[in-house]
Structure 1
Amino acid sequence: MFHSKKNIITGRNPVVEALRSGQTIDKVLMFKNASGDVINEIRQLAKDNNVPVQYVPNEKLNSLTNIQHQGVIAFKAAVFYHDLQQVIDWVVEKGETPLFVMLDGVTDVRNIGAIARSAVCCGAQALIIPDKGVGALNEEAMKSSAGALELVQVCRVNSLLKAVDTLHLNGIQVFTSEMKAEKQLFELDLTIPGCIIMGNEEKGVQPFMSKAADAHFTIPMKGDFDSFNVSVAAGIILYEAVRQRIKTTP
């Protein structure tokens, strides 16, 4: 994974200060045998700030920096993460109909960047990502998004299932694609408040997430080729949403 040196915070105290100050951190890498009061504080601060901690061998840390790291390195996030409920409130207060995209296991940062670009072009207001199991929103993702990641509200959550509950409590329907779904994309009503779940290209949306969805659909295709690339599929779905919304706008 590509990381610029300027986005790395090295050492125990600098990482503590970054977490205390509310700086947006993508993740913390920690030597698996690290111990001490400061290490415990970093773990707690990371938990409080919903920042994932990954435990790694010392060799991994040494390969990332020449500076004395004391068993801890943090990566600054290239984007600012927002609270999901606050984003929903903000969208509703603006008088807009929510259109969100949730990423379930999408690890390729170029795909994430391309999805963000389609989201902005099609009027989606937010991208919902889990704190683990998704590609880092680093400089490569920013470049792939052509700046779109700075324009869409990115919500990082510790549970996608809880995020679905939050969406439901706010009257937002959740949709996901399945190869064998009976309903086709253009048969969905995408003018209502909605969130599209996009899954990993190999495994798709996780079964428990698919079960939590309100509707399943398939993207019509000619021939028997495998499937669309995930970012292309997201673009098709989002464009159908904007097509329907433009059509129904007085």
Structure 2
Amino acid sequence: MKNFRSPQRPKKNTMIIGQQAVIEALKDGRALDRIYIDTRVQGASGAAIRQHASHAGVPVNTVPEAKLNTFNAGPHDGCIAIIARVQYQDLQSVISFAVEKGETPLFLILDGITDIRNIGGIARTAYCCGVHALIIPDKGVGALNEEALLTSAGALEQIAVCRVNSLVKAVDDLRMNGIKVFASEMKASVIAANAPLNEPCAIVLGSEDKGIHPTLLKVCDEQIRIPMATDFESLNVSVATGMLLYEAGRQRGWAVEG
């Protein structure tokens, strides 16, 4: 049997334990980060959890009982929900808010970034650089847990975070609002300084090992890169984010003295 381990085990006061308790939390509109449900949970309660979770936009992970037992939550009835530490925002609402304020939209899209220290560092830099929101998928991204919040120095509680079930659709929504989408790709022909980052835009960042998913890369408007003096494999994604955002700041005028 596979030995499941939880390297960042959630604290008990951050969990909602048991099928009925999770259903009630969903009905009450509690902000949940994720729901873990035993593969053996079927019937009306399992269907109700999945239905309410889908309506609320809360990801559901179907896992073996061994995974749930790693949380040390006691009797869990085959279901544990993790209370969200951040309040997820609707993407269109954030876009509209930025436009109504007369600001030039700037978004970050995180694709496949699972290291929560990188996510925390990205959030910290993004908030300092005036990014309107981080856009993350509901699956395949590191949990926005206590460690991520600490790494971000609290920025994850200040910046808007939009969780979507499809990054490709999110790109379509951005483009429909006149927001150009740039993909950070180390082999791109266009360097960041020559891209119009002063216009309404979003920047897509992929994981350091796999990069941006080909399907997502295909729907972006343009690929850009950070020029480097040496032929090294890649930059840390959090560092790369800072460099791209300060280039955007230079073009937008706030990162230039005077």
**TM-score range, shorter-chain basis?**
over 0.9
Name which of structure 1's ranges 161-170 and 47-56 shifts more when overlaid on structure 2.
47-56
Q: Which of 35, 42, 46 is equivalent to 1:35?
A: 42
Q: Distance in 2 between matches of 1:105 and 1:66?
A: 28
**Offset at residue 248 of structure 1 (A):** 9.9
Q: Distance in 1 between matches of 2:12 and 2:137?
A: 25
Q: Distance in 2 between matches of 1:197 and 1:94?
A: 24
Q: Which of 72, 91, 99 is equivalent to 1:84?
A: 91
In the other structure, the counterpart of 1:51 is: 58
**Residues 66 and 85 (structure 1), Cα distance of their counterparts in 2 relative to 1, 3 Å cut:** closer
Q: Secondary structure of 2:70's partner?
A: helix
**Offset at residue 247 of structure 1 (A):** 5.9
Q: Distance in 1 between matches of 2:255 and 2:129?
A: 15
**Offset at residue 22 of structure 1 (A):** 1.3
In the other structure, the counterpart of 1:228 is: 235
Q: Indicate yes or no: 2:106 matched with 1:99.
A: yes
1:44-69 alpha-carbon deviations (Å, 9 max, x no partner): 01111111111111122122134211
Q: Distance in 1 between matches of 2:231 and 2:62?
A: 43
Q: Which of 125, 141, 144 is equivalent to 1:134?
A: 141
Q: Secondary structure of 1:81's partner?
A: coil
CA contact (8 A) 1:4 1:139 kept: no
TM-score by length of 2: 0.94
Gaps in structure 1 of 5+ consecutive residues: none
In the other structure, the counterpart of 2:21 is: 14
CA contact (8 A) 2:104 2:199 kept: yes
Pairs within 5 Å for 1:1-250: 1-2=7-8, 3-246=10-253
Letter in 2 for 1:108: D
In the other structure, the counterpart of 2:3 is: none
Name which of structure 1's ranges 63-72 and 157-166 shifts more when overlaid on structure 2.
63-72
TM-score by length of 1: 0.96
CA contact (8 A) 1:174 1:196 kept: yes
CA contact (8 A) 1:184 1:219 kept: yes
1:9-64 alpha-carbon deviations (Å, 9 max, x no partner): 10011101111111111111111011221221001011111111111111221221
**Residues 20 and 223 (structure 1), Cα distance of their counterparts in 2 relative to 1, 3 Å cut:** same
Q: Distance in 2 between matches of 1:95 and 1:149?
A: 24
Letter in 2 for 1:110: R
> Paired residues, what number?
250
Q: Distance in 1 between matches of 2:199 and 2:160?
A: 19
Gaps in structure 2 of 5+ consecutive residues: 1-6
Q: Secondary structure of 1:30's partner?
A: strand
Letter in 2 for 1:129: I
